Amino acid sequence: MINPDLLRQELQEKISLVSSLEELNQLKASVLGRKGQLTQYLRSLGELPLEQRKILGAQLNSLKVELESFFLARERELEEARIRESLEKGRVDVTLPGIRPPLGRRHPLLQVWEEIEDAFLSLGFDIYEGPEVEWEYYNFGALNIPPDHPARDMWDTFYITDKMLLRTHTSPDQIRCMEEQRPPIKAIMPGLVYRHEAVDATHMDVFVQIEGLVVDKDTTFADLKGTLELFVSLIFGPGRKTMFVPSYFPFTEPSAELLILWDDEKGHNAAGGKWLEVLGCGQVHPQVLRNVGLDPQVYSGFAFGLGVERIAMLKYNIPEIRLFMENDLRFLEQFG
């Protein structure tokens, strides 16, 4: 004898235990399908006596309706669970920190180079650039450097041919500049220069110079000093200790060097109270003016050539010039 209540209980339990849609469909087919358990029962009702058939038939039919809604409810549950699971799996945690590619930055030397250019631009200078491979004439002859001058020695100069060399300073750009434009001239000329010399903590065989040239009708040595003092205060702030000392260059007369005291803002010496030479300068030699066809009776001027590495060393208290060329990230990363 079929007991519909027991059957309901048993099937309800089975339905609730099913854990996937596939299993649920199988179970559904085995109960309500064409050859399913309940379908069979309904079919066999015909064999029962009328009274019994009426009662059991009604019970089984309402069980069928109930079971259909149980299956449907469970199907929805499983469907939802599946969606939840796949959302969970594909979820992106937007709060996780991303992978940061390492950020590049300007080389400290370029930063200082640019700062120096900006300082001179703010003082009304133009920028002019000449070649690194230079004629001997521009590097030496036109600058009043005679053939027997020690700077021409094989040990100071990288020669390419008899007449061609790697410029040893940016001063040849003075000549190029004056050949190309007439006074008034007020320009800086930055670039790499090369010297065949022993490398040590303050010397390298390639370094950056910035040449300056002012030519007009009545420039004086006071203009030169004033311009350079203003420049130092723009780069280092006010109060940096400087000193002009007499010097000699064949292409300036009189000539001087500017020294800056090597200590930091708090007055601490990085190099034991050493004065570092940062530039050579002077009033343009009359012969240099004549070499470019300018009359020294009418025109005068001043020039300077500064070492960018040295300015950077003083500014950031770096006692070793070679650090600029070594590409050591521990060094470079300190300069944001």
In the complex, which residues of this chain contact ligand PHE (CB under 6 A)?
169, 171, 211, 249, 252, 280-282, 303-305
The closest residue (CB) to ligand PHE is: 305
Min dist. Cβ of residue 317 to ligand PHE (A): 24
Min dist. Cβ of residue 159 to ligand PHE (A): 17
The answer for residues whose C-beta is within 8 angstroms of residue 326's C-beta and 6 or more apart is: none
Helix (H) or strand (E) segment spanning residue 173: helix 172-180
Cβ proximity to ligand PHE: between 169 and 176 the closer is 169
Min dist. Cβ of residue 331 to ligand PHE (A): 26
Min dist. Cβ of residue 142 to ligand PHE (A): 13
Min dist. Cβ of residue 96 to ligand PHE (A): 56
Cβ proximity to ligand PHE: between 191 and 280 the closer is 280
Min dist. Cβ of residue 186 to ligand PHE (A): 15
DSSP alpha helices (H): ranges in 18-49?
A: 21-32, 37-44
Cβ proximity to ligand PHE: between 4 and 191 the closer is 191
140 in Cβ contact with 151 (< 8 Å): yes
Cβ proximity to ligand PHE: between 67 and 256 the closer is 256
Cβ proximity to ligand PHE: between 56 and 284 the closer is 284
Cβ proximity to ligand PHE: between 38 and 144 the closer is 144
Amino acid identity at 215: V
DSSP string, 240-302: --EEEEEEEETTEEEEEEEEEE-B-TTS-BSSSS-EEEEEEEEEEPHHHHHHTT--TTT-EEE
Cβ proximity to ligand PHE: between 70 and 207 the closer is 207
Q: What does each C-alpha distance from 275 to 243, 245, 257, 278 come to in angstroms?
A: 9, 11, 11, 9
Cβ proximity to ligand PHE: between 75 and 132 the closer is 132
Min dist. Cβ of residue 259 to ligand PHE (A): 14
Min dist. Cβ of residue 211 to ligand PHE (A): 6
Tell me the longest C-alpha to C-alpha distance in the chain. Answer: 143
For the four alpha carbons of 214, 220, 221 and 223, in that order, the dihedral sign comes to negative
- A 10 A CB-CB count for 121 gives 12
The answer for residues whose C-beta is within 8 angstroms of residue 253's C-beta and 6 or more apart is: 282, 283, 285, 286
Cβ proximity to ligand PHE: between 38 and 208 the closer is 208
* Matching residue, tokens 């631009």: 121
Min dist. Cβ of residue 95 to ligand PHE (A): 58
Token pair of 22 as six digits: 């596939």
Secondary structure (3-state) at 135? strand
Amino acid identity at 278: V
Rounded to whole angstroms, how far apart are CA atoms 168 and 184?
A: 26
